[in-house]
Homo-oligomer: A and B are copies of this chain.
Amino acid sequence: MTKKKIFIGTDTVSGVAPQILKAVLTASKTKTLPYGNDIFTKKCERTVKKIFQKNDLEIITMMSGTASNSLALASFLRSYGNVICHNNSHINQDEGGAPEFFSGGGKLLTLSNTLGRIKAEDLLKKIEEINFKGKLNTVISGVSITQLAENGTLYSLDEIRAISKICKKYKLALHMDGARFSNALVSQSPLSPAEATWKLGVDCLTLGATKNGAMAAEIIIFFSKDLAKEAKYHLKQTGHLIPKTRIISAQLNAWFENDLWLNLAKFANQKASYLRKKLSKFKDFKILFPTQGNEVFVEMSKISYNNILKLNIFPKLWNKKNNCVVVRFVTSFETTTDEIDEIINRLNTKFANN
């Protein structure tokens, strides 16, 4: 008998939380102004200001994470400019050249390590190396970090502080890709959104709800109003300002309400911990990196991987090297303990414990 397929490789296409669906229905029926001048977007702005404890910030709500990252970067990245980021970052590897396009030719300069996070000392070295080449050849505009990082781990407050200090010294903007910011935040609990961002020197945050309960809702938060000046024009020119913006903002309002965003993230993180603990018992699996959010990375032989697929379990194939593969398991607000137990039960039929 064929087993039901279990997709456990991404949170990108999870479902939609009921509270958010309900908000979409209400907004659909509400008459209000188009193009972001609606009451839902205004409420969202008030909410964000309160949650982030800052009054002089600007927000943009939109439907696409790739676009929100690129628009945020374009707020300080000119065609002749460069942004330093990790080689594995989503903006560098997964966005089809959107940051380069939005900025009219801006360039990403990458730092590599197996850690998945930029180290302050590497950043400093890179900046000095580049400046040595001469200012007309390469203009550094900013730095982009990802929280949770691409390998599912956290930048510590100290790590961000060290990076931020370098940014201030060299007058570079600091961008945080927060596609999984909510997972990161609850993982450091108690930590306020403000302490996790602008109080550390982050200039703008792209905060994603789509992976964590929304239908399609992302928000850019500019902690400096100056940075936001051109973004509204870019939003329009890139076709991301839609008439019924109320539908997007309504999702975000429901997401923020009663800490839904944090609760969904907490739930997902707990499931990831549980999954990790269970997976770590198999001797064919080597767990990589700490699990500080909702992701578990596992190294295994190609043979093991193929056996997993035969069990109709589908983690995401992350990379391949020689006879090994790395796969990613991701939990979401929808992942149940039953689902994980089912995964483990199936694995038990093919794999031995330590």
Contacts and interface: CB of A to CB of B under 8 A. Distances in A.
Contacts of A216: 63, 242-244, 247
Nearest to A246: B13
Interface string A70-108: 110000001111100000000001111110111111111
Given A28-B16, A34-B13, A64-B239, A233 B133 contact: no
Given A13-B32, A133-B93, A80 B233 contact: yes
Given A96-B233, A236-B80, A238-B67, A28 B21 contact: yes
Interface residues of A, number: 71
A323 interface: no
A236 B63 contact: no
A12 to B, nearest CB: 4
A313 B96 CA distance: 46
A244 B13 contact: yes
Contact of A21 (B25, B97, B129): B25
17 contacts: A10-B34, A15-B29, A21-B28, A35-B136, A64-B240, A65-B242, A79-B237, A80-B233, A80-B234, A93-B133, A96-B138, A96-B139, A104-B104, A105-B237, A136-B233, A238-B238, A240-B240
Given A13-B244, A94-B137, 13 more contacts: A12-B34, A13-B246, A15-B29, A28-B215, A35-B136, A64-B239, A66-B236, A67-B240, A68-B239, A80-B101, A97-B105, A98-B238, A240-B240
